[in-house]
Structure 1
Amino acid sequence: MFMKKVVGILFVAVMAVVVMSSFAGKGSGIKFSKVTLENAKKEASKTGKLIFIDAYTDWCGPCKRMAATTFQDPELGKFFNKNFVNLKVEMEKDADRMEIAKRYRVRAYPTMLIIDGDGNLVKSVIGFKTKDQLMAIAESAL
């Protein structure tokens, strides 16, 4: 009986560690702001940062994969959060967002845009990117 309790307690403890470790690192990736592009431009101008835009759609498989993997990387998050104002923009949600797609010629998803505080395009890349690929793209834009 004592052994069953010990095994049961150990099992619960191991499961708790597994569950907690699966949440470790969540939220340590890229922090996306919930501001409009206009407000992001103001913030970028004030702080001297560039703006990183993840232009995505709800139906885009590679977009979802990047959101779940690449954008969750802690090292990438630290770099992007320090150097960029980060925005996620669902490009087909309303007329304002479709205007952003038109202005920056977004024709495929995912598209990652890097723009300055005046709204000038610095860099545009299309398609799924790994952490290392996205880091190289971001570093080349700075």
Structure 2
Amino acid sequence: MKKLLFLLLFFPSLIYAQNKTGGINWISWDEVEAKMEKEPRKVMVDVYTDWCGPCKMMNNTTFSDPQVVQYINENYYAIKFNAEGSGEVTFRGTTYKNETYDANKAGRNGTHDLTRAIAPVNGRIAYPTIVYMDEDFGILSPVQGFYKPEQIMPILTFFAENVYKDKTWEEYTKAP
């Protein structure tokens, strides 16, 4: 009985530890440029904010799903980008910053210029947005909204496996 109780109490912590240590290999903008020189891959940018509930849910569910984690780590360089952060980012030779960032402000903050450059869909910015890029940092598509693991997997494969070059999203997702 003591062994069973020990396993019931100890086993969940093992699962938790595995999820925390075996997650997505998030890297910085500087790191991705260096890695691209050695091994070109597609890039996936998670554009989030600290106050965004769906961003947190996606991080805790979708980006913690073992199948999603493995697929992203094998096929993409993944960047987490705070859409309202204060840091400067140099991307494709241009330095972007958040001129309206206020360190004393709680909650929503100014929008980073890089967010405006890569994340709008039809002129609108929403969170979360996942921006998919090719091996030359060309923007393939920003995809807005919360996605469950089973919803994001087709999107990940659509870009990683170059399906977008021969089919539209509608053709790809159309039932056979």
2:22 is matched by which residue type in structure 1?
Answer: S
State the TM-score, normalized to the length of structure 2: 0.67
Structure 2: which 5+ runs fail to align? 89-95, 98-111, 161-176
Gaps of 5+ in 1: 1-6
Seen in structure 2, the aligned counterparts of structure 1 residues 65 and 9 have a Cα distance that, compared at 3 Å, is same
Following superposition, which runs of at least 4 residues in structure 1 exceed 4 angstroms of deviation?
7-10
CA distance in 2, matches of 1:14, 1:118: 49
What's the TM-score once normalised by structure 1's chain length? 0.81
Structure 1 residue 45: Cα displacement = 4.6
Q: Which amino acid aligns with 1:101?
A: T
The answer to whether the aligner puts 1:21 opposite 2:15 as a matched pair is yes
Question: Which residue of structure 2 aligns with residue 91 of structure 1?
Answer: 83
Of 109, 134, 141 in structure 2, the residue corresponding to residue 116 of structure 1 is 134
Shift of 1:30: 1.9
Percentage identity across aligned positions? Answer: 28
- Look up the SS of the partner of 1:64 in the other structure: helix
1:90-124 per-position Cα deviation (integer Å, ceiling 9, x unaligned): 11012535121111143100000011243210121
Higher relative contact order (CA 8 A, sep 6+): 1
**Number of equivalent positions:** 134
In 2, Cα distance between equivalents of 1:83 and 1:19: 29
Quote the RMSD (CA, aligned, Å): 2.1
Structure number with bigger Rg:
1
More helix by share: 1
